[in-house]
Structure 1
Amino acid sequence: MTEQVANKVMVFDKNAAFSDANRYKSWSPGASGWANLSDCRIRDTSQFGAIGLAAASGGRVGIWNITDEKDQELNDVLWSATPGGNPHALERIPDIGAFVAASSDGYLTVYGPTAVSKPSTLAQVQRVTLAGAHGVLWDPNNKLLWACGNKVVQAYTVSGTYRNVRITASSKKVALSGLGHDLQPDYSNSDRLLVSDSYGVYSISKSTLSKTTLHTTTRIKAYVKMRSGEYFYVRGDNAGSRDWGSPTVVFSQSADRTRSGAEFYKARYYATGFN
């Protein structure tokens, strides 16, 4: 999860209390530009193994090396950038080593490398308008990049390699009722995307583009369905100085977990692989 009070990415076993003693991993950037961590996810690479991807409303996006240490810090960062606006998500396009950031001010920013195995060579190569851009997700089966924004989930084709990589809006898109917040794979169904907006949570078929309402709960900031079929989410509680967050992660089949004084914004399944 991204926990914005301590400003850390924290990993816990869902079956144990979310206490410091029970943490499996953590990452603390602890530097200017990383305030209010807004997204995290892990991806697999041939060069570094598992890496963490993060976006922060303070202005930065970046990746860090998930080492054998329990706690990672700023010195484990492999690359970072300032896409502008209010960064809300970062995704990796495998094989070509490109990254795409979503900024809620209304655009996607594409970064291309000169060498796939060297994140330090990444540089901005493109910016694409998407009103209210909040979520971005790579679709390995269809080789598409999906993004959610204001009242839409939009698919993009990817062309080129290295510094010539570009994304182009495709004809595949699905209307939402409100501002899209979170976009995740359905780990239990490779044809499905899961997206939340201001009014609920929806399942979208990547093949037919049909949309099914799963929940009408409002203010869902993160929603994930695991391979077992269990789902969990974070709902903005409209309380405190960060009314978009919550100290509680809600589970459908397990005990809810609350960390006193915390403000979780995103919660993720600790797995690199999905379809």
Structure 2
Amino acid sequence: MKRRNLLRALAIGAPLATAGAVGAGIAAADTANFKVMVTEQVQNKVMVFDKNASFSDANRYKSWSPGTGGWSNLSDCRIRDTSQFGAIGLAAASGGKVGIWNITTEKDQELNDVLWSATPGGNPHALERIPNLGAFVSASSDGFLTVYAPTAVSNPSTLAKVQTVSLAGAHGVVWDPQNSLLWASGNKIVQAYSVSGTYRNIRLKASSKKVALSGLGHDLQPDFSNLSLLQVSDSYGVYSINKSTLAKATLHTTTRIKAYVKMKSGEYFYVRGDNTGSRDWGSPTVVFSQSADRTRSGAEFYKARYYTTAYN
């Protein structure tokens, strides 16, 4: 994690494409000073910073602090746009919880801003929203996806578990708006799922689209520079996947990448587990390919995200 050039050697020369629409007026455009959203597990907060400023308390743009217990060791964060609440935050925590919170005008938000939460079990690592249906899907590393569906799309309090889908080592989930598929990363695989039904009849079904990985899949994200690609990390590197052809290209061979995002500009940033301390899966540093790295003393970052409501 200390040497940025470990990951700079194999940049992919994909054509640039326009990123998805930015919702709620809060997500930064893909500019030289975009915002980064991180899960920090020592203070157990989701925090948002301008990427060109130090990741200090004074420079925080937003934060969300759910407390500990089932919310301990926050493992995922992202934001999505809704017609009812505007931008909402999505989070998963290895302590057992997944949930969403309302992103208000407050600078620092807490557990009382939560709109819905659930306890899927099995070390939750990711949560994604299926747009228009109001459903949510969590990934638990003990080996399954959990589907939560509403009776009223605009009312998250009506969400209830409707399906559990086996996926060994489930770590990442991301919605693919171009193909109306949900992609998930697990042990040595990225698998696409079709979505059928409405309200409490919403169901996932494994499609024929799947890609083999060499190790345990970790992060799974869109490529903001190319709508046709996904970015996935596993125990041994980072790869791009063509959503149509399923071709996989190796981008980097650095191990233990826990979060990886590629921007429209071609800049990418990542978190690499540093193998030290009580949280050896985390790191105090977010590494940027074209900018200064950001280190927060005493922190343990696990996920880092582009602060946008866009799916890609």
- Pairwise TM-score range, normalised by the shorter structure: over 0.9
Contact 1:8 1:26 survives alignment (8 Å): yes
Q: In the TM superposition, what are the counterparts of 1:136-215 in structure 2 within 5 Å?
A: 136-215=173-252
**Partner residue of 1:56 out of 76, 89, 93:** 93
> Paired residue for 2:260?
223
Q: One-letter code of the match for 2:178?
A: N
Please list the CA deviations of residues 130-171 of structure 1 after superposition, one character each: whole Å capped at 9, or x if unmatched. Answer: 000000000011000000000000000000011000000000
| Equivalent residue in structure 2 for 1:256, among 290, 293, 305 | 293
- Which whole-Å CA distance do the structure 2 matches of 1:273 and 1:60 have between them? 24
> What is the root-mean-square deviation in Å for CA atoms of aligned residues?
0.5
Structure-1 separation of matches of 2:130 and 2:297: 36
Separation of aligned partners in 2, 1:244 and 1:268:
17
- Residue identity opposite 1:19 in structure 2: S
- Out of 52, 59, 63, the position equivalent to 1:15 is 52
Structure 1 position 31, deviation (Å): 4.1
Contact 1:221–1:235 (CA under 8 A) maintained in structure 2: yes
Deviations 1:212-249 (A, max 9, x none): 00000000000001121100000000010000000000
Alignment of 1:68 onto 2:105: yes
Structure 2: how far apart are the matches of 1:32 and 1:199?
32
Which residue does the alignment assign to 2:40? 3
Report the secondary structure of 2:224's partner residue.
coil
Q: Distance in 1 between matches of 2:243 and 2:131?
A: 19
2:302 is aligned with 1:265: yes
Structure 2 stretches lacking a partner, 5+ long: 1-37
Q: Which runs of 4+ in 1 moved over 3 A?
A: none
Number of residue equivalences: 275
Q: Does 1:82 align with 2:119?
A: yes
1:40 aligns with 2:87: no
Q: What's the CA shift for 1:180?
A: 0.1
5+ long unaligned stretches in structure 1: none
- Distance between the aligned counterparts of 1:152 and 1:45, measured in 2? 31
Q: Which of 103, 107, 123 does residue 140 from structure 2 map onto?
A: 103
For residue 132 of structure 1, what is the aligned residue in structure 2?
169
After superposition, the C-alpha distances for 1:33-68 in whole angstroms (9 at most, x for unaligned) are 000000000000011111000000000000000001
Contact 1:174 1:209 in 2 (8 A): yes
CA distance in 1, matches of 2:100, 2:257: 25
What is the deviation of 1:122? 0.2
- Between the aligned partners of 2:280 and 2:121, the Cα distance in structure 1 is 23
The answer on whether the counterparts of 1:190 and 1:274 sit within 8 Å (CA) in structure 2 is: no
- Output the TM-score relative to the length of structure 1: 0.99
DSSP-derived class of the 1:39 partner: strand
* 1:188 match: secondary structure: coil
TM-score (norm: length of structure 2): 0.88
Amino acid paired to 1:137: V
Aligned counterparts of 2:122 and 2:257: Cα–Cα separation in 1: 22
1:115 aligns with 2:152: yes
The sequence identity of aligned pairs, in percent, is 86
Corresponding residue number in structure 2 for 1:237 = 274
Code of the aligned partner of 2:130: I
Residue identity matched to 1:26: S
Instruction: Write the distance in 1 (CA, Å) between the matches of 2:224 and 2:110.
Output: 29
Structure 1 Cα separation of the partners of residues 263 and 150 of structure 2: 32
The SS at the match of 1:250 is: strand
Tell me how far 1:274 sits from its aligned partner.
Answer: 3.4
CA distance in 1, matches of 2:51, 2:146: 33
Q: Is the 8 A contact 2:173 2:182 kept in 1?
A: yes
3-state SS, counterpart of residue 229 of structure 1: coil
Judge conservation of contact 2:239–2:249 (CA < 8 Å) in 1.
Answer: yes
SS in 1 for 2:50: coil
Task: Look up the match of 2:128.
Answer: 91
